[in-house]
């Protein structure tokens, strides 16, 4: 009888653990952020990042539903929309771009995963045909702002300085948050980043993440809102997973940003 109780208890624990892991990796977390930029028009931005080919319902229906409910002026996607150049990843990415661009303009930059492979030009063409506005190393005027985008591979070669507009207000889409000092020095009012996956595993009831690429253990810039020299950086914890396939205490994140709301 004791052995039976032990077996039932162990089975129950395994089921609870499996349920918690599923919740941590599949249940979307909506984060609402309001910021002020003096003299800038009101705008609503849906910030997504690091999909890595993940799906949240058929054709990412739960993501699309969240976007429609927010009714953004623009969606900003800050890199790693795929994990690998697999047909499934590309199909998921293009379907999501198609559905979200029907709600609002979809501004996209590449991340390090897109730039790992020579097929990025092919992917970029497919995303553009699906409705994405590709902002890699270029700028676009929209809604009274200048949106600039930094290619996921161009953080150290002077590209930021070349693309930074002189006019304000200006918003930068950049994949890697660890260069915040550089982005702030360029004078951007708002910087949107991803890449760090919220530290992958987070210490419960804190904002502390365990690890982020490019920053190592207990990274400083892995999520949330950061302010420096008049610039605000918002880091998405992302949606999917990379080489490490499990999030803990770190649900996939959808960020709804309202400026001067």
> Who's near 166: CB < 8 A, 6+ residues apart?
none
Task: Give the CATH number for residue 168.
Answer: 3.60.21.10
Count of the separate structural domains present in the chain: 1
Asked if residue 19 is part of any domain, the answer here is: no
Residues spanned by the domain of 231:
29-259
Question: Could you give the CA distance from residue 251 to residue 240 in angstroms, rounded to a whole number?
Answer: 9
**pLDDT exceeds cutoff 70 at 88:** yes
153 vs 113, 116, 143, CA distance in Å? 10, 9, 28
Q: Is the pLDDT of residue 11 over 60?
A: no
Say if residue 24's pLDDT is above 80. no
Digit-coded pLDDT (tens) for 114-146: 888 778 889 999 999 999 999 999 999 999 999
* Cis peptide preceding 232, ω within 30 of 0: no
Note whether residue 98 is domain-resident: yes
Q: Could you tell me if residue 3 is inside a domain?
A: no
**pLDDT tens-digit series, residues 179-232:** 999 999 999 999 999 999 999 999 998 889 999 999 999 999 999 999 999 999
């Amino acid at each position: 009888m004791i052995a039976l109780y032990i077996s039932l208890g162990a089975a129950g624990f395994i089921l609870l653990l499996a349920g918690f892991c599923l919740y941590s990796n599949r249940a979307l977390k909506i984060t609402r952020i309001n910021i002020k930029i003096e003299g800038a028009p009101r705008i609503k931005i849906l910030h997504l990042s690091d999909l890595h080919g993940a799906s949240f319902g058929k054709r990412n229906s739960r993501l699309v539903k969240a976007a429609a409910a927010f009714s953004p002026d623009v969606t900003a996607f800050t890199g790693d929309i795929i994990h690998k150049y697999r047909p499934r990843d590309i199909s998921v990415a293009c379907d999501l771009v198609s559905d979200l661009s029907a709600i609002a303009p979809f501004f996209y930059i590449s991340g390090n995963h897109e730039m790992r492979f020579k097929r990025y030009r092919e992917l970029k063409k497919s995303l553009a045909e699906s409705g994405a506005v590709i902002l890699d190393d270029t700028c676009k005027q929209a809604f009274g702002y200048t949106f600039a985008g930094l290619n996921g591979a161009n953080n150290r070669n002077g590209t930021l300085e070349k693309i930074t507009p002189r006019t304000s207000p200006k918003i930068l889409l950049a994949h890697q948050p660890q260069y915040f000092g550089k982005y702030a020095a360029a004078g951007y009012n708002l910087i949107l980043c991803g890449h760090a996956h919220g530290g992958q595993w987070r210490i419960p009831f804190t904002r502390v993440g365990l690890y982020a690429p490019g920053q190592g253990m207990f990274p400083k810039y892995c999520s949330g809102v950061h302010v420096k020299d008049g610039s605000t950086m918002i880091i998405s914890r992302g949606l999917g997973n990379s080489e490490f396939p499990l999030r803990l205490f770190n649900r996939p994140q959808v960020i709804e940003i309202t400026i001067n709301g």
